[in-house]
Structure 1
Amino acid sequence: MLRIEQKTYDAIVAHAKRDHPDEACGVVAGPEGSDRPERFVPMVNAASSPTFYEFDPTDLLKLYRDMDARDEEPVVVYHSHTATEAYPSRTDTGLAMEPNAHYVLVSTREHGNSDGPVEFRSYRIVDGQVTEEEVSVVATIEQLRSQD
Protein backbone atom coordinates (compact mmCIF):
# COMPACT_ATOMS: atom_id res chain seq x y z
CA MET A 1 0.00 0.00 0.00
CA LEU A 2 1.16 3.51 -0.80
CA ARG A 3 0.61 5.91 2.08
CA ILE A 4 0.96 9.52 0.93
CA GLU A 5 0.36 12.93 2.47
CA GLN A 6 -2.53 14.98 1.04
CA LYS A 7 -0.18 17.87 0.21
CA THR A 8 2.07 15.58 -1.85
CA TYR A 9 -0.90 13.95 -3.57
CA ASP A 10 -2.21 17.42 -4.49
CA ALA A 11 1.23 18.51 -5.76
CA ILE A 12 1.50 15.47 -8.06
CA VAL A 13 -2.00 16.08 -9.45
CA ALA A 14 -1.29 19.81 -9.93
CA HIS A 15 1.94 19.02 -11.79
CA ALA A 16 0.12 16.56 -14.07
CA LYS A 17 -2.61 19.11 -14.85
CA ARG A 18 -0.12 21.96 -15.33
CA ASP A 19 1.98 20.01 -17.87
CA HIS A 20 -1.02 18.64 -19.81
CA PRO A 21 -1.10 17.99 -22.80
CA ASP A 22 2.48 16.77 -22.24
CA GLU A 23 3.23 14.05 -19.71
CA ALA A 24 4.54 15.26 -16.34
CA CYS A 25 7.11 13.34 -14.31
CA GLY A 26 8.90 13.48 -11.00
CA VAL A 27 9.98 11.75 -7.82
CA VAL A 28 8.98 11.85 -4.18
CA ALA A 29 12.03 11.08 -2.06
CA GLY A 30 12.03 9.72 1.45
CA PRO A 31 14.43 8.49 4.10
CA GLU A 32 16.24 5.32 2.99
CA GLY A 33 14.35 2.20 3.99
CA SER A 34 11.35 4.13 5.35
CA ASP A 35 8.82 3.75 2.49
CA ARG A 36 7.72 7.33 3.40
CA PRO A 37 7.27 9.74 0.47
CA GLU A 38 8.25 13.07 2.03
CA ARG A 39 10.08 15.37 -0.42
CA PHE A 40 8.27 16.24 -3.64
CA VAL A 41 10.67 16.75 -6.57
CA PRO A 42 8.93 17.70 -9.83
CA MET A 43 11.11 17.07 -12.87
CA VAL A 44 11.05 18.36 -16.43
CA ASN A 45 9.89 15.93 -19.10
CA ALA A 46 12.91 16.17 -21.42
CA ALA A 47 10.86 14.49 -24.16
CA SER A 48 8.21 17.26 -24.07
CA SER A 49 5.74 14.68 -25.32
CA PRO A 50 2.06 13.86 -24.75
CA THR A 51 2.83 10.13 -25.09
CA PHE A 52 6.24 9.63 -23.45
CA TYR A 53 8.25 10.95 -20.53
CA GLU A 54 11.98 11.09 -20.04
CA PHE A 55 13.96 12.45 -17.13
CA ASP A 56 16.77 14.76 -18.23
CA PRO A 57 19.94 12.72 -17.52
CA THR A 58 21.77 15.69 -15.96
CA ASP A 59 18.81 16.55 -13.71
CA LEU A 60 18.40 12.89 -12.75
CA LEU A 61 22.08 12.55 -11.82
CA LYS A 62 21.83 15.72 -9.73
CA LEU A 63 18.71 14.35 -7.98
CA TYR A 64 20.36 11.00 -7.17
CA ARG A 65 23.44 12.77 -5.79
CA ASP A 66 21.20 14.99 -3.67
CA MET A 67 19.20 12.01 -2.39
CA ASP A 68 22.44 10.18 -1.61
CA ALA A 69 23.73 13.16 0.39
CA ARG A 70 20.45 13.25 2.36
CA ASP A 71 20.29 9.46 2.92
CA GLU A 72 17.14 9.32 0.81
CA GLU A 73 15.82 7.10 -1.92
CA PRO A 74 13.05 7.45 -4.52
CA VAL A 75 9.93 6.26 -2.71
CA VAL A 76 7.55 7.35 -5.49
CA VAL A 77 8.32 7.72 -9.19
CA TYR A 78 5.37 9.38 -10.90
CA HIS A 79 4.25 10.46 -14.33
CA SER A 80 1.03 11.26 -16.11
CA HIS A 81 -0.86 9.80 -19.03
CA THR A 82 -2.69 12.42 -21.03
CA ALA A 83 -4.90 10.29 -23.27
CA THR A 84 -5.00 6.85 -21.67
CA GLU A 85 -5.85 5.27 -18.34
CA ALA A 86 -3.47 5.41 -15.37
CA TYR A 87 -1.89 2.02 -16.07
CA PRO A 88 1.78 1.40 -16.92
CA SER A 89 2.49 0.96 -20.61
CA ARG A 90 5.00 -1.59 -21.86
CA THR A 91 7.52 1.26 -22.11
CA ASP A 92 6.77 2.36 -18.51
CA THR A 93 7.26 -1.19 -17.30
CA GLY A 94 10.54 -1.51 -19.17
CA LEU A 95 11.85 1.74 -17.65
CA ALA A 96 10.96 0.79 -14.06
CA MET A 97 14.39 0.36 -12.46
CA GLU A 98 13.59 1.01 -8.79
CA PRO A 99 12.22 -2.26 -7.34
CA ASN A 100 11.33 -0.64 -3.99
CA ALA A 101 9.54 2.37 -5.48
CA HIS A 102 5.84 2.97 -5.86
CA TYR A 103 5.09 3.87 -9.47
CA VAL A 104 2.26 6.41 -9.51
CA LEU A 105 0.34 7.20 -12.66
CA VAL A 106 -2.08 10.08 -12.99
CA SER A 107 -4.42 10.19 -15.98
CA THR A 108 -5.50 13.66 -17.10
CA ARG A 109 -7.39 12.29 -20.13
CA GLU A 110 -10.83 13.28 -18.91
CA HIS A 111 -10.36 16.92 -17.87
CA GLY A 112 -6.86 17.84 -19.09
CA ASN A 113 -5.65 20.89 -17.19
CA SER A 114 -9.20 21.96 -16.29
CA ASP A 115 -10.88 21.45 -12.95
CA GLY A 116 -12.13 17.96 -12.41
CA PRO A 117 -11.03 14.64 -11.00
CA VAL A 118 -8.08 12.60 -12.24
CA GLU A 119 -7.33 8.92 -12.09
CA PHE A 120 -4.51 8.41 -9.49
CA ARG A 121 -3.18 4.87 -9.19
CA SER A 122 -0.07 3.24 -7.74
CA TYR A 123 1.84 0.13 -8.76
CA ARG A 124 4.82 -1.95 -7.79
CA ILE A 125 6.86 -2.97 -10.81
CA VAL A 126 9.49 -5.65 -10.20
CA ASP A 127 11.17 -7.67 -12.96
CA GLY A 128 8.54 -6.56 -15.45
CA GLN A 129 5.65 -7.66 -13.23
CA VAL A 130 3.04 -4.96 -12.55
CA THR A 131 0.98 -5.15 -9.36
CA GLU A 132 -1.55 -2.47 -8.49
CA GLU A 133 -1.69 -1.38 -4.87
CA GLU A 134 -4.08 0.57 -2.69
CA VAL A 135 -3.43 4.29 -2.13
CA SER A 136 -4.11 5.78 1.30
CA VAL A 137 -4.02 9.58 1.53
CA VAL A 138 -3.30 10.96 5.01
CA ALA A 139 -3.72 14.54 6.16
CA THR A 140 -0.26 15.24 7.57
CA ILE A 141 3.35 14.09 7.36
CA GLU A 142 3.14 13.27 11.07
CA GLN A 143 0.52 10.65 10.26
CA LEU A 144 2.93 9.07 7.79
CA ARG A 145 5.75 9.10 10.33
CA SER A 146 3.59 7.70 13.15
CA GLN A 147 3.06 4.46 11.19
CA ASP A 148 6.74 3.46 11.41
Structure 2
Amino acid sequence: MLTIRQDLVDSMVAHARQDHPDEACGVIAGPAGSDRPERFIPMVNAARSPTFYEFDSLDLLRLYRDMDDNDEVPVVVYHSHTATEAYPSRTDISYASEPEAHYVLVSTRETGSEDGPYELRSYRIVDGVVTEEPVTVV
Protein backbone atom coordinates (compact mmCIF):
# COMPACT_ATOMS: atom_id res chain seq x y z
CA MET A 1 0.00 0.00 0.00
CA LEU A 2 1.15 3.51 -0.82
CA THR A 3 0.54 6.19 1.82
CA ILE A 4 1.20 9.65 0.40
CA ARG A 5 0.55 13.25 1.42
CA GLN A 6 -2.06 15.29 -0.45
CA ASP A 7 0.48 17.98 -1.37
CA LEU A 8 2.62 15.38 -3.15
CA VAL A 9 -0.41 14.08 -5.08
CA ASP A 10 -1.27 17.68 -5.99
CA SER A 11 2.31 18.25 -7.21
CA MET A 12 2.25 15.14 -9.44
CA VAL A 13 -1.11 16.12 -10.93
CA ALA A 14 0.02 19.72 -11.49
CA HIS A 15 3.19 18.48 -13.24
CA ALA A 16 1.12 16.11 -15.43
CA ARG A 17 -1.20 18.96 -16.42
CA GLN A 18 1.68 21.36 -17.03
CA ASP A 19 3.49 18.98 -19.41
CA HIS A 20 0.32 17.80 -21.20
CA PRO A 21 0.14 16.78 -24.06
CA ASP A 22 3.57 15.23 -23.36
CA GLU A 23 4.01 12.71 -20.57
CA ALA A 24 5.41 14.13 -17.34
CA CYS A 25 7.77 12.16 -15.13
CA GLY A 26 9.62 12.38 -11.85
CA VAL A 27 10.51 10.88 -8.51
CA ILE A 28 9.44 11.36 -4.92
CA ALA A 29 12.39 10.52 -2.69
CA GLY A 30 12.21 9.43 0.91
CA PRO A 31 14.52 8.29 3.71
CA ALA A 32 16.15 4.94 2.94
CA GLY A 33 14.22 2.08 4.50
CA SER A 34 11.18 4.20 5.39
CA ASP A 35 8.83 3.66 2.39
CA ARG A 36 7.77 7.27 3.09
CA PRO A 37 7.60 9.63 0.07
CA GLU A 38 8.75 13.10 1.13
CA ARG A 39 10.72 15.08 -1.47
CA PHE A 40 9.05 15.85 -4.81
CA ILE A 41 11.53 15.90 -7.71
CA PRO A 42 9.98 16.67 -11.11
CA MET A 43 12.14 15.57 -14.01
CA VAL A 44 12.24 16.50 -17.68
CA ASN A 45 10.83 13.97 -20.12
CA ALA A 46 13.83 13.73 -22.43
CA ALA A 47 11.64 11.99 -25.03
CA ARG A 48 9.22 14.96 -25.18
CA SER A 49 6.52 12.52 -26.21
CA PRO A 50 2.78 12.13 -25.56
CA THR A 51 3.16 8.34 -25.50
CA PHE A 52 6.53 7.67 -23.86
CA TYR A 53 8.73 9.06 -21.11
CA GLU A 54 12.45 8.84 -20.59
CA PHE A 55 14.65 10.32 -17.90
CA ASP A 56 17.69 12.19 -19.21
CA SER A 57 20.73 10.07 -18.26
CA LEU A 58 22.70 13.01 -16.82
CA ASP A 59 19.70 14.22 -14.81
CA LEU A 60 19.22 10.69 -13.52
CA LEU A 61 22.87 10.43 -12.49
CA ARG A 62 22.61 13.75 -10.61
CA LEU A 63 19.38 12.61 -8.96
CA TYR A 64 20.90 9.36 -7.67
CA ARG A 65 24.01 11.15 -6.40
CA ASP A 66 21.80 13.68 -4.61
CA MET A 67 19.65 10.94 -3.09
CA ASP A 68 22.78 9.04 -1.98
CA ASP A 69 24.12 12.21 -0.32
CA ASN A 70 20.82 12.58 1.56
CA ASP A 71 20.45 8.86 2.44
CA GLU A 72 17.30 8.74 0.30
CA VAL A 73 15.81 6.30 -2.18
CA PRO A 74 13.19 6.69 -4.93
CA VAL A 75 10.04 5.78 -3.00
CA VAL A 76 7.75 6.83 -5.87
CA VAL A 77 8.55 6.88 -9.59
CA TYR A 78 5.72 8.66 -11.36
CA HIS A 79 4.67 9.56 -14.85
CA SER A 80 1.53 10.57 -16.67
CA HIS A 81 -0.53 9.07 -19.45
CA THR A 82 -2.15 11.68 -21.64
CA ALA A 83 -4.60 9.60 -23.68
CA THR A 84 -4.93 6.27 -21.87
CA GLU A 85 -5.84 4.94 -18.45
CA ALA A 86 -3.39 5.01 -15.54
CA TYR A 87 -2.03 1.52 -16.17
CA PRO A 88 1.60 0.66 -17.05
CA SER A 89 2.31 0.08 -20.73
CA ARG A 90 4.61 -2.71 -21.92
CA THR A 91 7.36 -0.10 -22.22
CA ASP A 92 6.72 1.17 -18.68
CA ILE A 93 6.96 -2.39 -17.39
CA SER A 94 10.19 -3.13 -19.28
CA TYR A 95 11.82 0.06 -17.92
CA ALA A 96 10.77 -0.49 -14.29
CA SER A 97 14.08 -1.03 -12.51
CA GLU A 98 13.30 -0.15 -8.87
CA PRO A 99 11.66 -3.20 -7.27
CA GLU A 100 11.06 -1.35 -3.98
CA ALA A 101 9.47 1.71 -5.60
CA HIS A 102 5.80 2.54 -6.00
CA TYR A 103 5.11 3.25 -9.67
CA VAL A 104 2.42 5.92 -9.75
CA LEU A 105 0.55 6.80 -12.93
CA VAL A 106 -1.56 9.91 -13.38
CA SER A 107 -3.92 9.95 -16.36
CA THR A 108 -4.90 13.35 -17.75
CA ARG A 109 -6.87 11.85 -20.64
CA GLU A 110 -10.19 13.43 -19.60
CA THR A 111 -9.15 17.02 -18.95
CA GLY A 112 -5.66 17.47 -20.40
CA SER A 113 -4.03 20.56 -18.94
CA GLU A 114 -7.29 21.84 -17.42
CA ASP A 115 -8.57 21.38 -13.87
CA GLY A 116 -10.96 18.51 -13.41
CA PRO A 117 -11.00 14.76 -12.94
CA TYR A 118 -7.81 12.74 -13.18
CA GLU A 119 -6.98 9.13 -12.50
CA LEU A 120 -4.17 8.19 -10.11
CA ARG A 121 -3.14 4.58 -9.47
CA SER A 122 -0.10 2.92 -7.93
CA TYR A 123 1.67 -0.32 -8.79
CA ARG A 124 4.57 -2.48 -7.75
CA ILE A 125 6.48 -3.76 -10.77
CA VAL A 126 8.95 -6.55 -10.06
CA ASP A 127 10.51 -8.75 -12.74
CA GLY A 128 7.83 -7.72 -15.23
CA VAL A 129 4.95 -8.55 -12.88
CA VAL A 130 2.52 -5.67 -12.26
CA THR A 131 0.57 -5.58 -9.01
CA GLU A 132 -1.85 -2.74 -8.32
CA GLU A 133 -1.86 -1.49 -4.74
CA PRO A 134 -4.21 0.71 -2.73
CA VAL A 135 -3.35 4.40 -2.33
CA THR A 136 -4.08 6.24 0.93
CA VAL A 137 -3.84 10.02 0.72
CA VAL A 138 -3.21 11.77 4.04
TM-score (normalised: structure 2) = 0.99
Q: Which residues of structure 1 form unaligned runs of 5+?
A: 139-148
Matched residue, 1:44: 44
Matched residue, 2:88: 88
- Give me the whole-angstrom Cα distance separating, in 2, the residues matched to 1:124 and 1:26: 16
Shift of 1:83: 0.5
Shift of 1:115: 1.2
What code does the residue aligned with 1:13 have? V
Shift of 1:39: 0.2
Identity %: 77
- Give me the whole-angstrom Cα distance separating, in 2, the residues matched to 1:127 and 1:115: 36
- Give me the whole-angstrom Cα distance separating, in 1, the residues matched to 2:114 and 2:64: 33
Q: Give SS of 1:123's match.
A: strand
What code does the residue aligned with 1:27 have? V
Aligned length: 138
Moved >2 Å (runs of 4+): none
- Give me the whole-angstrom Cα distance separating, in 1, the residues matched to 2:114 and 2:20: 9
Q: Give SS of 1:28's match.
A: strand
Matched residue, 1:71: 71
Are 1:14 and 2:26 matched, yes or no?
no
What code does the residue aligned with 1:2 have? L
- Give me the whole-angstrom Cα distance separating, in 2, the residues matched to 1:105 and 1:8: 13
CA RMSD of aligned residues (A): 0.3
Matched residue, 1:111: 111
TM-score (normalised: structure 1) = 0.93
Q: Which residues of structure 2 form unaligned runs of 5+?
A: none
Shift of 1:136: 0.3
